[in-house]
Structure formats: C-alpha cells, structure tokens
Chain A
Amino acid sequence: MIELLQSLLQWLPESLQVLAIILIKIVVILAPLLVAVAYLTYAERKIIGYMQIRIGPNRVGFFGHSLWGLGQPIADAVKLMFKEIVIPSGADKFLFIVAPMLSMGPALAAWAVIPFGDELILADVNASLLYVLALTSLGVYGVIIAGWASNSKYAFLGAMRSAAQIVSYEIAMGFALVGVLMAAGSINLGEIVQAQSGGFWTWFMVPLAPLFVIYFISGVAETNRAPFDVAEGESEIVAGFHVEYSGITFAVFFLAEYANMILVAMLTALMFMGGWLSPFQGLPVVGDTFLAAPSLIWLLAKASIFLFLFLWFRATFPRYRYDQIMRLGWKVFIPLTIVWLMVVGAVIMAGGIGPWLH
C-alpha cells in the first residue's frame, strides 16, 4: 500500500514525498471520520426516535428516493453552510470565530496517534496515551472562549460550568488511565492493546472493571453529553456556550462534539476492550479461523457499542444538577479510582493482572 503510494509519488522531490504520504494518511483517517460524524447525528436521531416510538428523519434521500432519510445529514450540512453567521454586538470578533476551530482542532488532532491495527497508525508515538490525554483536555478552550467571546450571560454561564466540569473529570479520567498503563506496563496505545491479547477475559475491562466504568462515564462528561450536558442545559441556560452561534460556526461545534464522542468510544475500546483483538481469540471452538484473527472490524464494532451507549444515555437519563456532577466527580470517582489503583498496584506486586491473579 505504502510502496504503491511511493511509486506513484516518484515525481516529487525526496523531502516532499514524506510530507505527501503523511498528508494522504491524514486524509485517509479524517475523511471517513467526518462521514462517521455526519452519520452519527443521523444515527442519534433515528435511535432516539425509535426509543421514543417515533420514526425520526425519513424524508430526505437521494435522487428522489427517500432511503430512510439517509440524505438528512448532508442536507443539514448544506443548510448550515449557507446560513448567515451572526456576530453579536460587543462580541470579541476574533475569538468568536476562532473558538469553534479551537474545539475542532484537538478533537481531530488526537486521531494522529490512534492505532487501527498492529501497523495501521499515523504516528506511532511512545507516549501516545499521554498525548491523547493532553489533547482531549484542550477541547475545553473552544467552549470557554466561545462563552466569553459571545458577550452573553447564558453563554458565559455555560462556559464556566463546562470549564469546571471538564477540569474535574479529567482527574478521574487521568487516574483511570494510570490504572491502564500500570496494567499494560506501557503508555503506547498499540502496546496496551497487545498487552490484552489472550481472549476476552484478559481484556482490561475485567481486571480494571471499576476504572473501565469510570473512564467511560468521565468520557461522557468530558464530551459534555447527556446526562452531563449542563454546559448546554436548554431548559436553564438556553443552549449554553453556543447560544449565539449560527451557520457554519455552530456546525463546527457540533462536529467537534461528535468527533470527540467517537474518539472516546474508540479509546475505551482500545484500552479496555482489547482494540482490534477478536473476542473469540483463544476459544477452543473457534480455533484458528478468521473469527479469532484480529481485525479493524472488531475495533469498529466495539467502538460502535460505546457510541450506542452514548445515545442510549441521552434517551434515558435526566440531566444531572451541577452540584451533583461535582459531587460525583470529586467524591465518588476520584476516591474510587485511587482505591482501585492501590488494588492494581498490589496485584501487580503479587505478579498478577495478565490472566488476573496468579
């Protein structure tokens, strides 16, 4: 694959070839991602629709066929692109425009180190876990800058809520990841997946069950999704930080939120559910067939489970109150993770974790 590309790019000078290949890789990752983001919004409306015994979008299709409303995301995107961007009076124009980009940037940049298979990775950085953690913590800037630059009370309240919430949940999230790296003995995502190989019982979701749950819930909180979406809170502060945004700027916020969701789902799958490893690995019945072989399909399937959970949460749970969110983060998750880290440490000292305790 790479060789083919290289031969196609022969006409370029030496140094530009590397650059071109990197750029092509980026496009190969981002293009499907953006399509996935678009259709995640469609999936959300459909799934929540069925959960509420409605049908969801079913009119916009292609070439005169409705096709269950599959054209809806495209139509939405086109509509938003051509809408006017209204800049409120007294707003900080530059930051107002920059804010959506700041929330989109980290959401996409984090994908650079996400491995899709043993060799399928854009940048195999040693400290990729840390890199992901650092970049996900940056998404908050888009939110607070948007809230402040809008010159609106509701937006500002939303931004403040979001800042406090994200900073709080990052701690629990970080601690959960410490458990993962302790168990795997590495902070490289690829090696973390390798460390889980053996069968579905050796995935880290089993020995690190509490950390797994906490990580995913913190991930939901970090992406400002229901039931932790106080930053938007339609009923209290209209739409929170993006109340003043319209047109493409609003769409970019939307894209960033869904890209982050996919990222969190992907990371959870990689770190706790064995990534691209097959759940049938090591089962005597399946043996050596294709079912036991690691593949990208498994990774995407696992990520989809978590994405479905995201939507399911939204359809099911009422929104947390702000102080309840804080209490959950600081008084439940952080102590729990610390306790479990001690357990993990003790188990590792005793020589366990691989297939749990020896």
Chain B
Amino acid sequence: MSFEQILFYVFSSFLVLSAGAVVTLRNPVHSALALVLAFFNSAALWMMLEAEFLAITLVLVYVGAVMVLFLFVVMMLDINIARMREGFAQLLPIGIVVAVLMFGVMYQVYNGDRFAPGDMPVPTPHAADYENTRELGLQLYTTYVFPFELAAVVLLLAIVAAIALTLRRREGTKYQAPEKQVVTRREDRVRLVKVPSEARK
C-alpha cells in the first residue's frame, strides 16, 4: 500500500465514521460538529484528487460559514431530544422500507457495468503547474456562464426572500439614534430653573 492509499483509507474511514455519528449522536451540537468533521475529511479526499479549489471552498463556505450558523441555531434552540424521538418506533418500519427501496434502486443503478470501478479511466496526474482554480474559472466563465450567472441570481433572490420574510419593525420598540444623540446641545437638554429660597416656617 502506498502512502497515498493509506491516507485515502484514513480519510475515508473518518468520513464514514463521522457521517454515521451525525445521525446517531444524541446531542444535536455534537451531531453538527461531527458534520464539520465529515466536511473536513471529504475536503481532504478532494484535495487528494487534485481538486484543491473545491476542497478549500468546501472548508471555507461550509465549515467556515454555513456550519457556524447551523451551530448558532442548534445551540440557541435547545432542542428537546426526547420529544423528537417519540414517533421513532412507529415510523421505523416505514423508514426501513424506504431505506431498503433506496438501497435497491442504488444497487440496480450502480451495479451495472457503467459505474464499475474497472470501467472508469484512471485519471492522469497533472503537471505541477496545473492550477485547478484557473481551469474551473475558465470553464465557469465561458461554457457555463449562463447557469453560473443564474446561480448568482438565485442567491440574490434568496437574500430578498429572507429579508422579506423576517425583517419586521415591531410596534413600540425603541431605537437609539446615535447621530441625533451626538448633535444634541446643552440647550436641548438642560433647563435652568431658578428656585427662590424660602424662609423656614
């Protein structure tokens, strides 16, 4: 076994273990962290396939931003695990049926000779000056520019939709207006009142 093979088996076994942990761990925060680990390992696998741009982007976007917000929400919600497990027994048979069906479909599809490992051409390693990032960029901005720009539009839409659904000014909330606070002058706030002294009765 070469060094790369050892690496591959290390990363992929960690990937499988952590992916399993995501669904089996009882604590949702632990699950989310297991997912982070899973992302890491898949990024490492991609890195070994010379897809360094995708690997780093996976870490940057999913681990660095998406999962942080995920954790944010999971920690805030304080999910009641006992209640979520209530229907487990009743739903288990259906779940098993669906899982078996899915597995059957997958087996049927991937068992054919089309996706057999032997039929896949072994990728030729690239020269040292090969830049995955540059190649991807060239593809994205020429051949696939239309769907790529559309993806940008979808993201813009997601922003608009999220703001439309969540932003609301509640009645009666009080806001500070620092720009007004800064320009107040003494005359606006202080009133000198002359109180004449009175003789003690």
Query: Do A and B contact each other directly (Cβ–Cβ < 8 Å)?
Result: yes
Q: Which residues of A contact B (CB under 8 A)?
A: 15, 92, 95, 125-127, 130-131, 133-135, 137-138, 140-141, 144-145, 148, 156, 159-160, 163-164, 166-167, 170, 187, 324
Residues of A within 8 A of B71 (CB): 144, 148, 163
Residues of B within 8 A of A164 (CB): 72
Q: Does B19 contact A (CB under 8 A)?
A: no
Asked if A127 and B76 sit within 8 Å, CB to CB, the answer is no
Q: Considering the complex of A and B, which 9 residue pairs feature the smallest CB-CB distances, nearest first? A: A137-B64, A134-B60, A134-B59, A130-B56, A134-B56, A148-B75, A126-B131, A127-B52, A163-B72
Give B64's nearest chain A residue, CB to CB.
Answer: A137
Residues of A within 8 A of B59 (CB): 134-135, 137-138
Q: Which residues of B contact A (CB under 8 A)?
A: 3, 29, 33, 36, 52-53, 56-57, 59-60, 63-65, 68-69, 71-72, 75-76, 131-133, 178
Asked if B76 and A160 sit within 8 Å, CB to CB, the answer is yes
Asked if A127 and B53 sit within 8 Å, CB to CB, the answer is yes
Asked if A167 and B53 sit within 8 Å, CB to CB, the answer is no
Asked if A160 and B72 sit within 8 Å, CB to CB, the answer is yes
Asked if A144 and B68 sit within 8 Å, CB to CB, the answer is yes
Residues of B within 8 A of A95 (CB): 29, 33
**A141 and B52 contact, Cβ closer than 8 Å, known pairs A134-B60, A167-B65, A170-B64:** no
A159 to B29, CA, bound (A): 14
Asked if A125 and B52 sit within 8 Å, CB to CB, the answer is yes
A338 to B72, CA, bound (A): 27
Asked if A144 and B64 sit within 8 Å, CB to CB, the answer is no
Give B133's nearest chain A residue, CB to CB.
Answer: A127
A217 to B56, CA, bound (A): 24
A-B contacts, 13 of them at CB < 8 A, read A92-B29, A126-B133, A127-B52, A130-B57, A130-B60, A134-B63, A140-B64, A141-B68, A144-B75, A159-B75, A160-B72, A160-B75, A163-B69
Q: Identify 20 new A-B residue pairs, CB closer than 8 A, beyond the known A92-B29, A140-B68.
A: A95-B29, A125-B52, A126-B52, A126-B131, A127-B56, A130-B53, A130-B60, A131-B56, A133-B60, A134-B56, A137-B64, A138-B64, A141-B36, A144-B68, A145-B33, A148-B71, A156-B75, A163-B68, A167-B69, A324-B178
A21 to B31, CA, bound (A): 38
User: In whole Å, how far is A181's beta carbon from the nearest beta carbon of chain B?
Assistant: 10
**A138 and B63 contact, Cβ closer than 8 Å, known pairs A127-B56, A144-B71, A163-B71:** yes
Asked if A130 and B68 sit within 8 Å, CB to CB, the answer is no
A134 to B47, CA, bound (A): 14
A121 to B60, CA, bound (A): 23
User: In whole Å, how far is B15's beta carbon from the nearest beta carbon of chain A?
Assistant: 18
Residues of A within 8 A of B57 (CB): 130, 134
User: In whole Å, how far is A355's beta carbon from the nearest beta carbon of chain B?
Assistant: 25
A156 to B69, CA, bound (A): 14
Which one of B75, B76, B178 has the greatest number of beta carbons of chain A within 10 Å? Answer: B75
Give B131's nearest chain A residue, CB to CB.
Answer: A126
A135 to B63, CA, bound (A): 10
User: In whole Å, how far is B155's beta carbon from the nearest beta carbon of chain A?
Assistant: 13
